[in-house]
Amino acid sequence: MSRVVIIGAGQAGASLAIKLRGLGHEGPITLIGSEEALPYQRPPLSKKYLLGEMEVERLHLRPRSFYEERRIELRPGVAVTSIDRAGKTVTLDDGTSLPYDQLALTTGAEPLRLPARLGGELPGTYTVRTLRDVDAMAPEFVEGRRVLIVGGGYIGLEAAAVAASRGLQVTLVEMAERILQRVAAPETSTYFRELHRGHGVDIREGVGVASLAGEGRVATAALSDGTTLATDFVVVGVGVRPATGLAEAAGLAIENGIRVDAHGRTTDPSIFAAGDCTSFPYRGQRVRLESVPNAIDQAEAAAASMLGSGKDYEARPWFWSDQYDVKLQIAGLNAGYDRTVVRPGARAGALSVWYYRGSELLAVDAMNDPRSYMTGKRWIEGGFSPPPAVVGDPQCDLKTLAAPGSPGAVPATPRGG
């Protein structure tokens, strides 16, 4: 029977192992994770878990008994140090090795950190990626304390929302001209800037960290605009990079992540990959998605391909973020957009931003507007693009346009690939 080894016990790794069993694989499955915890979900870490509204057991994707019943061997708390492709073995940091017939890499992504020369390794400086990270920083979130958030992406904004909700004095700095500049239109940036400032967050855009300092612990931050802030601790949320070290050392192709084909296969036919660590074909381009839905769907598609029954993986990108009482839902990918349409929602505080390239609808950001999100998601997945003027008309009921062929819905600009 074929032996499968999976490196990386996050959402993608667990999904792949579970799907293999669900599709009838009878051979041994070993799921290796460097963390001691059972496979768990990450999104609540910077939200409900950090707020103390979710117990650690609720983070777990499945209880231990689930894996035992399905004969999925968990190897927590160990890391793989090397892959021997010729001998089809992996070596672990405890000195043991495991043979495989098929190998899956679901190694995820690693947080970017401030360089040590800038004080990035001072105690009291944290990143938000793992359960251990959040457990370490949680005691810092005490009412009245001062926190500096570095980075105005979704992780930084979520951490700022938790801190402000807990009564801390929050300063957020973003080196780019505006928060969310890499991932969203100016209109979405404006929405969240106003939201956070309304909760007392001091947002400073176009400002970076020149250095952190303190005697044995971070106490001050010198900023690029020449100002100095006193702070009790720092949370760094400046993005992630795909964890490709093992794959690169093993000689696999790397292209903004582990390069895989539409079946999740790497340049070694015995090795597959899925999740945040991969780049894959999507509508004539190559993309890397950092999202739970992609981790699950791509892993399940790879599992089917490993068993010889797979088909091309067709990503349906969607994302979400929770900040205060606002739920942001995103459908599609906005890369290459050349215009946006803003549509007010049906209730106060609801808004959606629609991204177009020419006449083609690419993506939608929906803030407290689930109807716009669901409608936009169906349109994008179905390849239909209503005229921007129609979407931007608040008197137009989107429900009348939601089905392909409905009045106002026109075929999207043909997509490559």
pLDDT at 411 over 80: no
Q: Which of 8, 237, 289, 242 is nearest to 109 (CA)?
A: 242
| CB-based burial label for 281 (10 Å; 0-12, 13-18, 19+) | middle
46 with 162: CB under 8 angstroms? yes
Contact 147, 169 (CB under 8 A): yes
Grouping H, G, I as helix, E, B as strand and the rest as coil, residue 17 is helix
Question: Does residue 340 register a pLDDT over 60?
Answer: yes
E strand or H helix that includes residue 380: helix 370-382
Q: At CA 367, angle to CA 364 and CA 372, rounded to 5? A: 50
Structure tokens at 360: 């083609």
Residue 414 pLDDT more than 70?
Answer: no
Instruction: Report whether 392 contacts 342 (CB < 8 A).
Output: yes
Q: How far apart are CA 378 and CA 369, in angstroms?
A: 15
SS3 163: helix
Whole-number pLDDT of residue 407: 45
Task: Please give the structure tokens belonging to residue 75.
Answer: 């190897």
Task: Please give the pLDDT value at position 416.
Answer: 36
- Measured between alpha carbons, how far is residue 297 from residues 11, 90, 109, 264, 275 in Å? 10, 26, 17, 11, 9
Give me the pLDDT at residue 58, please: 95
Span of 239-243, 316-320, 403-407 with lowest mean pLDDT:
403-407
Q: What is the pLDDT of residue 354?
A: 98
User: What whole-number percentage of the chain has pLDDT above 90?
Assistant: 88
Match 């495989």 to its residue by tokens.
100
pLDDT digits (tens, 9 = 90+) for 52-93: 889 999 999 999 999 999 999 999 999 999 999 999 999 999
Question: Residue 312 has what pLDDT?
Answer: 93
CB 300 within 8 A of CB 266: no
Q: How far apart are CA 127 and CA 281, in angstroms?
A: 30
Residue 412: per-residue pLDDT: 42
Q: What is the pLDDT of residues 262-307, one digit of tens each?
A: 999 999 999 999 999 999 999 889 999 999 999 999 999 999 999 9
Nearest to 37 by CA among 73, 65, 61: 61
Helix (H) / strand (E) containing 319: strand 318-323
Give me the mean pLDDT over the 342-352 stretch: 91
Q: Where are the alpha helices (DSSP H) in 259-321?
A: 292-306
Give the Cα separation of 78 and 337 in Å (integer): 43
Q: What is the pLDDT of residue 409?
A: 44
Which residues pair with residue 395 across a beta bridge? none
Question: Tokens standing for 285?
Answer: 């381009």
Band (pLDDT 50/70/90 cuts) for residue 164 is very high
| Collapsed DSSP state (helix, strand, coil) of residue 215 | coil
Three-state DSSP at 267 gives coil
pLDDT given at position 348: 87
Distances (CA, A) of 120 to 113, 114, 315: 7, 4, 36
Q: Identify the pLDDT of residue 400.
A: 75
Query: Count of alpha carbons within 13 Å of 378, Cβ hemisphere only?
Result: 16
pLDDT on residue 237 = 94
Angle between helices 11-22 and 292-306 in degrees, nearest 10 = 40
pLDDT at 300 (0 to 100): 97
Alpha carbon distance 58, 262 (integer Å) = 33
pLDDT tens digits, 87-137: 999 999 999 999 999 999 999 999 999 999 999 999 999 999 999 999 999
Q: What are phi and psi of 266, to 5 degrees?
A: -80, -170
Under 8 Å between Cβ of 251 and 85: yes
Distance, in Å, from the CA atom of 407 to the CA atom of 396, rounded to the nearest integer, reads 11
pLDDT tens digits, one per residue of 212-256: 999 999 999 999 999 999 999 999 999 999 999 999 999 999 999
Question: How much is the mean pLDDT over the chain?
Answer: 93
pTM assigned to the model: 0.91
Pick the more confident residue, 1 or 282.
282
Ordered domains of the chain (ranges, CATH) = 4-110+240-306 (3.50.50.60), 113-236 (3.50.50.60), 325-401 (3.30.390.30)
SS3 for 83? strand
